[in-house]
Amino acid sequence: MSRRLRSITDPDALPGYRDNDRASARIEFLREALPPGEDVERVAAVFRLMGDPGRVRILATLLEAGEVCVHDLASVAGLSESSVSQALRLMRAHRVVETRRAGRVVFYRLGDNHVRMLLDLAITHAGHSPAVTAVSSPIDPTRQEPT
Amino acid sequence: MSRRLRSITDPDALPGYRDNDRASARIEFLREALPPGEDVERVAAVFRLMGDPGRVRILATLLEAGEVCVHDLASVAGLSESSVSQALRLMRAHRVVETRRAGRVVFYRLGDNHVRMLLDLAITHAGHSPAVTAVSSPIDPTRQEPT
DNA sequence: TGAACAAATGATAATCTGTTCAGATGAGTC
DNA sequence: GACTCATCTGAACAGATTATCATTTGTTCA
């Protein structure tokens, strides 16, 4: 976060946070700081692709094994070959995975390091993070206030 | 990837890749290497939450500004306050965002560093990556074979 | 060439998701 | 207390997503 941004947006740093003019300036500033719409769409698309248990199993398998054929992916992930094929098609279109053909077998691998890092980060973190809470009130009385 | 895993799964490293027994061993091994089902679900859930353009805008705003109230989030992201509230509720349940109340205003911020890293990585990468391809054949003739 | 195999595709139905609307809650203010 | 503001919630609808089945393509091998 930039210094200027902080000075504009910090709710505690300024008196008159609720003032209309200040609010407009803040919103204007933040809106301009957003990534371009095209990038937002691309980010969302990749995350959406990674947001399905079956596809996560496929990707985790590729992360572990490097290169795997469709048939094996289906067996490992516990999905039909058709499902896997459909999933791979979507991920191919967004370069989340890439292919190599060897005879009649097609091997899939992760598309790039970026995907590899996202996956690795998420899986590692999931390994030692608390379970999901029930849908709760925005302010949970049992929650500790940050210091 | 472990050495043993590579020796079992590398399609080029072994003759008899297609052999049934070897295939079974390979699949068995990969299946056991998958993260626990609970972790897979959790990873998928977080990615799914991050896989919507509106929510990406919300999260990107929080990444940039640190703490933002619901009303401002709606203005910046170009969504109704109700939509934002619904989105935040989902993300709250998975600890993707956290809250702080100040009077009748509720400020939201990113839940933890893990989320921050995922977002940052994805947005940075989207900034200089090629657009999405049309749905294409698994083996695109124009594609370069990896070396 | 034809049989066997791996993978991809198209179409469909069932399911899931996101948005909106109307109303409820909770906190400040007069 | 009545009023306003900021936010939250539940229900309902439209649109997107998913799995599945049948079919097709492309490859190897007898």
- Which sequence spans correspond to the domains of chain B? 3-34, 43-127
Q: Write the class of the CATH domain B43-127.
A: mainly alpha
Token pair, residue B91, equals 């993300």
Does A1 or B85 have the greater pLDDT score?
Answer: B85
Give the position of tokens 């657009």: B131
Q: Contacts of strand D, CB cut-off 7 Å?
A: A 18, 48, 52, 54, 79-80, 82-83, 86-87, 90, 101, 103-104, 135-138; B 69-71, 81-82, 84-86, 88-89, 99, 104-106
Band of the pLDDT at A120, cuts 50, 70, 90?
very high
What percent of chain A stands above pLDDT 90? 52
Q: What is the pLDDT of residue B147?
A: 38
Using an 8 Å Cβ cutoff, are B5 and A85 in contact? no
Instruction: Please say whether the structural domain A43-125 has been given the CATH code 1.10.10.10.
Output: yes
Band of the pLDDT at A37, cuts 50, 70, 90?
confident
Q: What is the pLDDT of residue B70?
A: 94
Give the position of tokens 């490293």: B13
Alpha-carbon distance A30 to A55, whole Å? 34
Interface of B with A in 68-107 (CB under 8 A): 68-69, 72, 75-77, 88-89, 92-95, 98-102, 105-107
Task: Report the relative pairing of strands B105-110 and A97-102 from DSSP bridges.
Answer: unpaired
pLDDT score of A13 more than 50: no
Q: At A56, which amino acid appears?
A: V
pLDDT score of A105 more than 80: yes
Q: What is the rounded end-to-end Cα distance, in angstroms, of chain A?
A: 19
pLDDT score of A32 more than 50: yes
Token pair, residue B105, equals 């205003």
- SS3 state of residue B7: helix
pLDDT score of A64 more than 60: yes
Alpha-carbon distance B87 to A28, whole Å? 22
Contacts A75 to B, Cβ<8 Å: 27, 31
Distance between B84 CA and the closest CA of chain A, angstroms: 13
Alpha-carbon distance A139 to B108, whole Å? 11
Torsion A106-A107-A113-A119 (CA) sign: positive
Q: What is the pLDDT of residues A134-144, one digit of tens each?
A: 666 666 544 44
Q: At A58, which amino acid appears?
A: I
Residues of chain B with pLDDT under 50: 3-8, 13-16, 141-147
Q: Does A147 touch chain B (CB under 8 A)?
A: no
**Alpha-carbon distances of A106 from A67, A73, A82, rounded to whole Å:** 10, 11, 14
**A11–B67: do the CB atoms touch at under 8 Å?**
yes
A83 strand C contact, CB < 7 Å: no
Alpha-carbon distance B30 to B33, whole Å? 5
State the nucleotide closest to B92 in CA–C1' terms. D8
Residue of B70, B65, B53, B81 whose CA lies nearest to B116: B65
* Mean pLDDT estimate for chain A: 81
Residue of B126, B73, B54, B26 whose CA lies nearest to A66: B26
